[in-house]
Structures are given as C-alpha cells and as structure tokens.
C-alpha cells in the first residue's frame, strides 16, 4: 500500500517546503500590491504580478471551520481517524487548511486559537505545517 500523501514539491512551492523544513511558515507576498496569499501560486491572485516574495507568518491563528474525517481519501491515513481537518485563519488575514493535532476533540471549536508546529514525515526533507491548540 502506498504511504501517507506527501507534497510533490515543484518550482513554485519549493521555498514554502524549504521553510517548513526549517520550522518557518511562509506566505507569498506580492511585491507590487502587498497582497499575501496561500497556497503558493505563480502570480499574485489580486494584481497578477509575478513579482512575489516570501514572508514569514506568526504561525498563530484561529479555527474558522473544521471537520473530523472518518474516511480519509488516502487509506494510508485510516489508522489516524478521526483526523481534525480545519480552515484556519492566520493572524495575517489569510485562510489556510491544515490538520489540528489534538487528542481531545472537545477542545476544538470555531474560534479556538491554534499555533503551527512542524510534523516529521517519512521523507527527512519534508515537514508538514500542522497546528495545535494554543495554551
């Protein structure tokens, strides 16, 4: 059986994944209009400039919505259900989807504060930006 899904790093998002491996959550920032965006794309989704750079996010945010996945699309995740998959609004005003690593699901509600943490994977060069309930 194939393992858990890993990103297929490409020329557009390589810097993002390098950042994650170094423990940094990076957003794209347009050098022309200052728009910040996630996920990484070849152009600014506001002004279409290709002059994009990377800016670190604080890694803090709050839960905007969440679901407890019982049937993951990739069966390799089945042993970990329920998986808390969430819309998280970062302090920078950007929505990002990720996983919340929390044993006690009662702690996760809309509005719950969360912070990023970087999870090891089978590939030593890849770490995943997941979230934990903030203290």
Partner 1 sequence: MRRKKVCLVGYGSTEYSRKSEKPLLGFYSEAINRALEQTGLEKKDIQGFALTTQASPDNSPYVAEQLGLELDWVLNADYGGAGGVMGLRRAADAIEAGHVDVAVLVGGNTFDRSVIHQRVLEYQRSNYVDVFGYGGPNSLFALVQRRHMEAYGTGLEQIGKIAVSQRMNASMNPQALLRKPMNLEDYINSRMISDPIRLFDCVMPCSGAECVVVTSEERAKKITDKLVYLVTDAEKVNYQVGNMLPDKTTTGMKIVGDRLFSEVKRDQIDLFEIYDDYPIAVMIQIEDLGYCTKGEGGKFVDSHDMGFKGDFPVNTGGGQLSVGQAGLAGGYLHIVEALRQLRGEAGPRQVAKAERALVTGIGWLAYGRNLTCTGGLVMERRA
Cβ 83 to partner 1, closest distance in Å? 4
Cβ 58 to partner 1, closest distance in Å? 15
- Interface residues with partner 1 (CB under 8 A) are 4-10, 12-13, 35-39, 45-46, 64-74, 77, 80, 82-83, 85-87, 89, 93-99, 110, 128, 130
With respect to partner 1, which residue has the nearer C-beta, 80 or 125? 80
- The structure tokens listed for 79 are 């042993």
Cβ 134 to partner 1, closest distance in Å? 19
Residues paired with residue 107 on neighbouring β-strands, in sequence order: none
Q: In terms of Cα–Cα distance, which of 98, 87, 97, 94 is closest to 37?
A: 94
Give the Cβ contact number of residue 91 at 10 Å.
12
Distance CA 70, CA 49 (A): 40
């Amino acid at each position: 059986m194939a393992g858990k899904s890993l990103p297929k790093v490409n020329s557009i998002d390589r810097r993002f994944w390098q950042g994650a491996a170094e423990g940094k959550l990076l957003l794209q920032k347009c050098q022309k209009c200052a728009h910040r965006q996630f996920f990484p794309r070849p152009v600014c989704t506001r002004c279409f400039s290709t002059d994009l750079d990377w800016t670190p996010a604080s890694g803090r945010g709050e839960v905007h919505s969440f679901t407890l996945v019982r049937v993951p699309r990739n069966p390799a995740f089945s042993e970990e259900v329920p998986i808390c998959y969430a819309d998280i609004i970062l302090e920078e005003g950007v929505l990002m989807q990720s996983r919340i690593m929390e044993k006690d699901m009662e702690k996760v509600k809309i509005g719950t504060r969360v912070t990023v943490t970087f999870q090891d994977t089978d590939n030593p060069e890849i770490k995943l930006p997941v979230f934990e309930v903030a203290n």
